Structure formats: C-alpha cells, structure tokens
Structure 1
C-alpha cells in the first residue's frame, strides 16, 4: 500500500506539477523526518565491525565510479548518478531489518555512520561535482547541511531530556512520518516535471536514461551489500548500503543542482521500495511455507 502511495505521488507530481512553487519546503520536511528518526536512536558498541566501514567506503566509491563512468558521455546524467548513489542509509532501514528478524543494531550503526560522514564530506565534494557557473563553494553548502542535520538531532535529544512522556508520544507517531516522505517525493517530482516541461521538452530521452541508470545503481548497491555482509550480516549490510535516505539527496539536488537531477533520488525511492516489498513478501513466504 505504501509503495502504491509513493507511485501515486510521483504520478501526480508528473502530471500536476503545481508543487514546484513549494520545493523550498523539502528541506523542512527532511528535518522533520530526521527528527523522528533521531528520537530513539541507540548504539550498541559491541555490534560495530569493519563491515560498517567497508559499507561506507563502498557507498562513496560507488558514487564516484558512477560519476566518472558517465561523465565523458553526459555531464548532467553523471551528476544525477552521483547524487543518487551518495545518499546515506535510510531512516527506515533498521525497521525493515526488524521485520525480517535481523540484527537491527548492525543497520542502525550504518544509519548513524553514513549519515554523519556523508554530511561532513558533501560540502567538500559537491562544488567539484557540480562544477557549474554558479560559483557554489564549500561554505555555501556546509552551513545549510549542518543546520539541516544537527537541528533535528538536538531537538530530539532535548525532547527526551525535558519530557519523557512527550518523547514516548512522538515515538508512537513515528510511523506516520512516512507521509512526510510522500509529500517530499511529490514536491521533488513537481519541481523536476515543471523544469522539464519548460526547459527540456526536446530532451525527454534524458528522463529515461536517468531511470535506467538509477535502476542499475539500486540493483548494484543492494547486491554488493549482500556480498559485504557475508553469511552473518548479508541482509543487514544489503539494507544498509541499498536502502537510501532519498529525502536528503532530494533536498540537495533541488537546492544546489540542476532540477532534473532530483529525478535520480525520486526514481530510487520507487525502485528501492518495490525491491523491499518483494523482499519482505518472499521472506514471509519463507517463514510460512504452508501459506
């Protein structure tokens, strides 16, 4: 049902791009998503392993390889591939692992590690990747990224310190944050659709190319995660590397890059959720073979 809702929001954004006027809200909706994710984060130090850092390096490496492989053929497509692949582990990844009865702590640490490291390094990297005439510098990106990431973290910690009862009520509302993602996907799709209608009517083939590249990145990262995790953490590592915080890169793409670049993270939302739904379906069939 949730995947269908995401597909509906993408479809509405394509055909009714009235949300392009409100893309500035994407950042604040992202902060709300991060706030809910930070409410009950706990790190078990005993679960930290070398595999977490291999996942992190693989994430960054795959982003640069995608960019470098495509850049000689299409600069915009290469930028889109980079911003799609560089997204850190999704807020919902530990939830999926819990549904599969896996080791939630493993994926949770990847969530924290990748989000923090990617937040730190992106202000250095993005100006080089964008390489446009807009003169976007490290300082232009650093403050917005740090504020966007640190504000919800500080607020979540303050709520828990000040009022445990309010903290518990907010945790009960955490599942409802999915609908914030739905709104973000609609706004991002609207912005991209509006830009394409007014500036890229003769280059619609680029949209199909972005879709194909995004599907390949999605399949590669989920598969690579299985190999990194090995027998003990195959599912956990696959989820940590493949399931992405697309709201984060949607905001980055819409704020600092060409509006078409946002299609990468938008397509990724659809592909990753389709894969996860199928994966959960087959997992439940495996657990209940008599059904």
Structure 2
C-alpha cells in the first residue's frame, strides 16, 4: 500500500510544483539512497554478464536510430529524441531493484558501465548531433557521476570494516530508503512540472510531439530490457535500460543544446517515475498476496 505514495508524490509534483526550489537536493538524496542500497551488496567480478554489454549497445543504438529516423521530418525533434534516449542508467536504479528484492549487483554494474562509456563517447557524438562549437569536457560529466556513486559505496565498506554491529543496525533501517525515494520523486517531478509551466506556454504542438516521442522511447526501452534480461534478469535489465539518469541529460540539454530539447528528459522523468511507481505497487501487491 505504501507504494501508492510514489503516485501521490508524482501527482503532488505536477499540481504543486513548489519543490522545484529544492531540486539541488536530489543528488544528495540519491547518495543517501545509494548508501542504504550498498550496505549489503557483494562486489564480485562474477556479476559481469554479456547482457550488460547488450544493454549498453542497445542504449547507444536506440538513441542513434531515434535521431536518424526523426531527422528528415524535424531536426530539433530528432535532437531531443537523441538526448532523451542516450541517458545512461540512473543512479537510483539499484535502489529500485533493492526495493523489489532483485539482484542489485547486476544493475550496479550496468550503472557503472553505461555512465562511464556514455560519458566517454558523448563529447565525440554531441558536436555532430547539435552542430555546435561548445566543448564538453570529460571531467565535466564523469566526475559528478563518480563522486555521487563512490562516496556511498566507500562509506558502506568503511562502516562494515570498522563496526559490524553498526552495519547490521543500518541494514535494519533499510526501509527508510523508500521514503527518501518518495521525496526524490516529488522533487524531480516538481522540477519538471515547473519547467514546463514557465518555459513552454506556447508552441504546444511541439510540446505534445516531444511528449509522445518520449513516451514511446520510455516504453520501448523498459520493454526491450525485459526481453534482454530473460527469465533470470528481466527486472534488472529492464531497470538498467529504462530507468535513466535524466539529471545528466537535462544538464547537457540546457548547457549545450536548444533549450526546448530539455523537454525530452523532463518528460522522461514523469513517465519513468509513473512506470516505476506502478511497477513497485504491483510487485508489493503480488508479494503480499503470496506471503
């Protein structure tokens, strides 16, 4: 029942977008989420799977195919589709898999692989896509992601090494991560809703087109992930491919592209959070009925 809170958070973000003033907290809340997710994680080279590389190739291919399919009809729309689809696995993806009692290690490696590889190749691809002279440095993109990811991981390893009783108590408090997620969903949705309200009151046709294409991309990637994952990793692969690091691409769109292109990642925030909320709700309902 508590998973309905995610839907409430999305609705509140759309109707009452006052949380946009605090979107700077999203990164730090994600670090808190990751901290709880990493507490009982086992890091092992055996987690690396061929499916991780299929996910990466699918991610890059989907973004380029989206761009070239739409480009003959509308260049701006094509750029928006590209920057929306190219976003790597979200930092919060392992958190969602943790809440679903899935294989967090699988999603964790996808998080590292997609963020590092996409960060490396984007400075080479973006100038060709946007016809811009702006330079995107490696450190501008990679370092913030690595810092957000590594600090919680290092902290959990240190706590386990220094005090096992404290580590065990923190694991018992792991359910707190769900409520941190609810706050983060509200803030992200609030920021997206506020951006649309203040920046795109005109050109509604273009807004609808971007929303429609973004919905298709979101649905396609989540579904494709289920097929890639197969029986063993269906949920993990779906989350790895479908749940995106939208704060990453929102920053790229605002900084290096036409401001309108930011609507793709902004809409994706709404769509992926809606899907994740419903997915967690049905997972919880199924789990409760079988227990």
Scaled by the length of structure 1, the TM-score of the pair is: 0.77
Contact kept? 1:218, 1:268, Cα under 8 Å = yes
Q: 2:81 aligns with which of 71, 78, 81?
A: 78
Which whole-Å CA distance do the structure 1 matches of 2:249 and 2:80 have between them? 12
Which whole-Å CA distance do the structure 2 matches of 1:262 and 1:197 have between them? 12
Q: CA deviation at 1:117?
A: 0.9
Contact kept? 2:84, 2:249, Cα under 8 Å = no
Which whole-Å CA distance do the structure 1 matches of 2:162 and 2:54 have between them? 37
Q: CA deviation at 1:158?
A: 0.8
Q: CA deviation at 1:27?
A: 0.9
Tell me the alpha carbon deviations over residues 96-115 of structure 1, each in whole angstroms, 9 at most, x when there is no partner: 2x4xxxxx5xx334212201
After TM superposition, the structure 1 stretch with the greater mean CA deviation from structure 2, 48-57 or 268-277, is 48-57
After TM superposition, the structure 1 stretch with the greater mean CA deviation from structure 2, 220-229 or 152-161, is 220-229
Which whole-Å CA distance do the structure 2 matches of 1:38 and 1:5 have between them? 24
Q: CA deviation at 1:204?
A: 4.1
Tell me the alpha carbon deviations over residues 26-82 of structure 1, each in whole angstroms, 9 at most, x when there is no partner: 111111111111111114666654334333433443344344444553045314532
Name the CA shift for 1:222/1:264 in 2 (closer, same or farther; >3 Å): closer
Q: CA deviation at 1:220?
A: 2.9
Which whole-Å CA distance do the structure 2 matches of 1:139 and 1:205 have between them? 37
Name the CA shift for 1:246/1:165 in 2 (closer, same or farther; >3 Å): farther
CA RMSD of aligned residues (A): 3.3
After TM superposition, the structure 1 stretch with the greater mean CA deviation from structure 2, 13-22 or 149-158, is 13-22
After TM superposition, the structure 1 stretch with the greater mean CA deviation from structure 2, 143-152 or 52-61, is 52-61
- Which residues of 2 match residues 149-188 of structure 1 at below 5 A? 149-188=149-188
Match of 2:220 in 1: 220
Number of aligned positions between the proteins = 275
Which whole-Å CA distance do the structure 2 matches of 1:250 and 1:200 have between them? 19
Contact kept? 1:246, 1:266, Cα under 8 Å = no
Contact kept? 1:9, 1:185, Cα under 8 Å = yes
Tell me the alpha carbon deviations over residues 195-238 of structure 1, each in whole angstroms, 9 at most, x when there is no partner: 22221011345554455444433443343344334xxx42x322
Structure 2 unaligned blocks of 5 or more:
255-261
Name the CA shift for 1:60/1:175 in 2 (closer, same or farther; >3 Å): farther
Contact kept? 2:10, 2:185, Cα under 8 Å = yes
Q: CA deviation at 1:181?
A: 1.7
Q: Give SS of 2:42's match.
A: coil
Name the CA shift for 1:154/1:66 in 2 (closer, same or farther; >3 Å): farther
Contact kept? 1:38, 1:152, Cα under 8 Å = yes
Which whole-Å CA distance do the structure 2 matches of 1:245 and 1:168 have between them? 32
Tell me the alpha carbon deviations over residues 220-270 of structure 1, each in whole angstroms, 9 at most, x when there is no partner: 3343344334xxx42x32212212598861432444434532330331121
Which whole-Å CA distance do the structure 2 matches of 1:135 and 1:51 have between them? 32
Q: CA deviation at 1:167?
A: 0.9
Q: CA deviation at 1:192?
A: 1.8
Q: CA deviation at 1:84?
A: 5.5
Which whole-Å CA distance do the structure 2 matches of 1:215 and 1:199 have between them? 20
Scaled by the length of structure 2, the TM-score of the pair is: 0.77
Which whole-Å CA distance do the structure 1 matches of 2:142 and 2:45 have between them? 29
Contact kept? 1:27, 1:148, Cα under 8 Å = yes
Match of 1:101 in 2: none
